[in-house]
Structure formats: C-alpha cells, structure tokens
Amino acid sequence: MSDTSIAFIDLAAQQRRLGTRLDQAIGRVLVHGAYILGPEVAELEGQLAAFCNAAHCVTCANGTDALQLVMMAEGVGPDEAVFVPAFTFVATAEVVPPTGATPLFVDVGEDNFNMDPASLEAGILEARRLGLTPRMVIAVDLFGHPADYDAIRDICTREGMTLVDDAAQSFGAAYKSRRIGALADYTTTSFFPAKPLGCYGDGGAVFTEDSVKADLLRSLRFHGKGGDKYDNVRIGLNSRLDTLQAAILIEKLAIFEDELAARQTVAARYAAALQGVNTVTAPRVNEGCTSAWAQYTLLVRDRDALAAACKAKGVPTAVYYPIPLNRQTGYAMHPTVPGGVPVADRLATQVLSLPMHPYLDRDQIAMITDAVRAAA
C-alpha cells in the first residue's frame, strides 16, 4: 500500500535507500573506536573538497561554528562592519556581534531572495558614515540558490573586503558551471539533518583555497592547538565533526549527486504544475545557476489562507523566515542600509515553502500542486 502522507522533508525514505550501508559504516567506527578525528573525518574532507573543486575542506561541529571559525581566522573585530543580508537564518548574523564587529543589514533581491549588490553598495557608504571599516561580506545562497558572486566579488575586491559564502543551504549548487565551494574566500556549510546534505546530528565545514588559512582553521577548531594538542598557541574552540557523523556523511555523499538530480526533477515538476497559477510566484533560477533546492519557496499574497488550505489537504508548508533579522529583538540595535530593507520586509510576509526532498514522487507532487491550485 502506498503511503499518501506527505513529509516536508523525508529522511526516512533516504534511510531506507541507504539500508545496511549506514549500519556498516557506524559499525566500523565502533570497532576502531577513534571517535574524535578518526580516519573517516579526513576521508570525508577529501571527498567534500573534491566534490566542489575546493582546495581545502575543514569540517567542524556545525554550520554556525563554521562561520565563527572564519571570523576567528580573519580576526574580525571592533570598528569593523560585516555586511549580512537581512533575510536569512539567524546564524549568518549571530557570529558577528561577539567579535565586537557590527553586523550591517543589507536588503535582498526579490528574484531569488539573495543579497542585492546595489544595497550592499549603500551599506558600505553607511558603514563609513558610522565610522566603521567595511571588512567582510557574508553572502547567503538562500534556499539553495547561489548569490550574485560576480557582482559581490567585484565590490569585495574594490573595497579590500573578505567574501564569505554561507552555503548552509546550497552545498551542491552551481554558479556559472562552478560548484559552490570555491567562489568566495571562504565557503561555510552545515550538515544539520534538514540541509541538502545532512548528517544525523550537528555538523559543518569550511572550504578555502588558502592552505595557510586551512591550517589556521584546523588549529582553531581544536582549542588553538600548535604542534600537538597540549601546545596551545591561540584561543580556539572545541568544534570538531564527530567521526560517526563523518562516516554517515560518506555514505550520504555517495548518493548526493543523484539526490541533487532528483531535487531538480521535483522543482521542474512544481514549476510546470504551478504555471499559470497567478496567486503564487514560483521560484526563479538565474541564468547559469543551479539551485540545490534546500527549499521550494513561493511568494504568496494571502499566505495564511494558502497555508490553511494546504494543511486541510494534508500538505505541510513552512515559513522561512517570518521576521527579517533587523527586526529581531536580539538584533534590532544593529544598523541597516539607509531606508531600511523593504524587500526583506515584504518577503517575510509573502514566503511559503512547499515540501522539498529528493523522494517526492509524481503523485505526491500532483497532490501538493492540486492543493495550491484549488486554493487559488
């Protein structure tokens, strides 16, 4: 009997597909017992770097730590501005205030929800007006779609700023035929279970082309170790990826290419079925880009009504994100570009994400899109 219930993200289907390979991978770790930085960690780092054509991969405990390790590696500090999009998951901005630097919220574009280069330019002027040195840009590939790296890279080069790609949602995506991973000075990602490449707990990684910075990141993730672990040459973190999670990720990475292709199929079926439904705007993909489709996010005028209609038909939906960061209580004291972030403000009221995972079949997609059509 086929299961007609629809999961927003179906990790159980992936687990059934991987079958006993997961148990065997976990079993091997239990036998060798090297739970911290065991052989699977270095093996995974090599595979991840190869997957996205990056020179170095340094895994760590989660995607937020990946960003924090970059802050530490770059020595970001007081009187400096770090530009972050106002419309993202909170972790993008969360790592900035503890360094003493100021997060400055930049508006996003309506086309694919990512940092608007024109707004970034306005943010740089605002930072200077506030007496802050423009230091770093954290571009986010929201919902899996790459940010505008050519434009943002040019601005960073001109201003001498470090470019960080928060690719927590976009590992596996591509920008102008290049995989996300080597488009910025640092690329960070997350292996949180719900991300496109997720483990069974927390995990993260930093990619860089710079071997000196890669060594520094390896020291920082291990209490600032020097030659050995009881030689502490700097302040670091305890932020390593567990060997067990690395072993699980190796098995998941083996099917990831195939899963990315399945996500493209799901997105294409959604787009075809939603064509002509004029109450919703389906997500667009820029010329030359491939999304990792972490989310399939619509723009909807009457979001509450559509969410309720979907729910009534057994179709789960979610709102990512209901409040822009500049309006969050913990962040409202930090500056935004002059005039605020009107696009981020509007998106926060209109976004609605449909179920998205590689194991959605034709019938389920039809059921979901029928529910959206019926509500229209």
Ligand X SMILES: *Cc1c(COP(=O)(O)O)cnc(C)c1O
Under the rule (CB under 6 A), what is the footprint of ligand X? 62-64, 88-89, 91-92, 140, 166, 168-169, 190, 192, 202, 204
Cis peptide before 200 (omega within 30 of 0): no
Is the CB of 134 or the CB of 196 nearer to ligand X? 196
- The nearest distance, CB 61 to ligand X, in angstroms, is 8
**Those residues with Cβ within 8 angstroms of residue 75's Cβ, 6 or more apart along the chain or in another chain:** none
Nearer to ligand X, 204 or 236 (CB): 204
From the list 94, 84, 83, the residue with the least C-alpha distance to 134 is: 83
For the CB of residue 166, give the shortest distance to ligand X in the complex, in Å: 5
Which one, 190 or 364, has the nearer CB to ligand X? Answer: 190
Residues forming a β-bridge with 351: 299
